[in-house]
Amino acid sequence: MSYSRLVVEADGASRGNPGAAAGGAVVLDPETGQVVARAGVLCGHASNNVAEYRGMIEGLDIALAMAPEGSVHVRMDSKLVVEQMSGRWKIKHPDMQDLARAARELIGSRSVTFEWIPREENARADAAANVALDRDETYREL
């Protein structure tokens, strides 16, 4: 199924910071509020910030495939990632520079917006990241 608009909620989890880390994402149909995809990606030994970027990229990859001509709205509780991806804050850390570059290449000229949300509104994405850590595997549920 193809969508005209999707919402990505993304987060990262790191058990130790740095430590075993994973990014998580859920993709939502904004018309119904239904979760249409869920994913978790292992990041190895990494910081929470790196895991948040990886969760965002995983969610974007899924959403942009499901809405190739549509728009995607990314919601995250990471003020750092939201502000960096929105172009308002500089990216100083080399690992995050590489991840932001990868995200921008994935986005290309497509319509993607970013919004900061409070942590308590991002429980689904946090859970997706922790499932990857608990299972010790990267997964996608479409």
Closest CA to 129 of 80, 78, 79, 72: 78
pLDDT at res. 2: 82
pLDDT at 81: 98
- What is this structure's pTM? 0.97
Pairing of strands 71-76, 5-16: parallel
Tell me the pLDDT band of 133, cut-offs 50, 70 and 90. very high
Q: For residue 56, what are its two tokens?
A: 């965002």
Determine the pLDDT at residue 74. Answer: 98
| Residue 126 scores a pLDDT above 90 | yes
Q: Which CATH class is domain 5-132?
A: alpha beta
CA 69 from centre of chain? 19
> What pLDDT is recorded for position 1?
76
Mean of the per-residue pLDDT values of the chain = 97
| Per-residue pLDDT tens digits for 27-85 | 999 999 999 999 999 999 999 999 999 999 999 999 999 999 999 999 999 999 999 99
Beta-carbon contacts of 35 under 8 Å, excluding residues fewer than 6 positions away, are 26, 27, 28, 124
